[in-house]
Amino acid sequence: MNNFITDMHEPCLQLVGFKESAVPKSFNPVGNFYELNDNCGKGFYWVYGNSNKYTITLQECTMFDEYELQYTPPKYMGINYYCSAAKIEKSPYKAISNNELHGFYSTGSQYTAVYQKDIPLRVIGLEINPDYFQDICSKYTKIQLPSPSEICQAIHQLTDYSDIILILNQIKNFMGDIDFARAYYDSKILELMTSILVKITNPKGSRPKICPSDKIALNILETYINNNLTYCATSNRLRENL
């Protein structure tokens, strides 16, 4: 795959009924913008791509009739936050709910999903090349990590992902021009991948120990809180998070 947008997104968008349009002022102009044909429904699809490394997508649409999508995507890691879920993934099957973080690993086989009628679909999504993901990880860590497919499966099992949603919304709201966009998006992709890997490889009960200097700082903070505050973060509550 040479380019995520032309090789994966645009063939799929054409099947659903999207057509390329001018980017509205409320969206970052560094991306491509598509509108849903009036006879299919209403909505938009914005996508930014860094060649064959990753893409960032913002999608919001409502279909006038139920539509079943069938197409064969390339291999990729998908990370989607469904603000509103109006889609049923049939092959491979995966239940999707509102306000849910969803991991998906494409093996390159046929994908089938049903867009439901008259229900808004709102998604913030990332599509990452598995090779790029592994290259990045190998630069920053020497530990043995789960495979890309295992990571995507683990994402779907996470219950605490507020920090990941924060990163996705920062990506969504960024309006910097083309001179800064790639550096910003690259850094946010790395931050998001790191946050996911920390959650997967350090589950509750096996958090890394804090260093001595941090313990001293926490003791100072604990003393200040106990002496000056009557509510909020008590020392016991602080210790619960260590």
User: How confident is residue 1, by pLDDT bands cut at 50, 70 and 90?
Assistant: low
Let me know whether 137 and 228 are in one domain: no
Q: How many Å apart are CA 88 and CA 72, to the nearest integer?
A: 17
Beta-sheet strand order (sheet of 111-115): 67-71, 111-115, 87-91, 93-94
Output the pLDDT for position 237. 47
Q: What are phi and psi of 229, to 5 degrees?
A: -115, 140
CA distance 113 to 102: 14
Residues 176 and 86 in one domain: yes
Average predicted confidence (pLDDT) for the chain: 85
In this structure, are 84 and 151 located in the same domain? yes
Residues 78 and 147 in one domain: yes
The lowest-confidence range among 5-14, 146-155, 215-224 is 215-224
Q: Judge if 40 and 142 occupy the same domain.
A: yes
The residue range of the domain holding 230 is 210-242
Number of structural domains found in the chain: 2
39 and 119, same domain (yes or no): yes
Q: What is d(CA 125, CA 103) in angstroms, rounded to the nearest whole number?
A: 10
Distance CA 175, CA 88 (A): 32
Tell me, yes or no, whether 147 and 68 share the same domain: yes
Q: Are residues 112 and 23 in the same domain?
A: yes
Query: Are residues 73 and 170 both part of a single domain?
Result: yes
Residues 106 and 219 in one domain: no
Residues 133, 236, single domain; the answer is no
d(CA 30, CA 159): 33
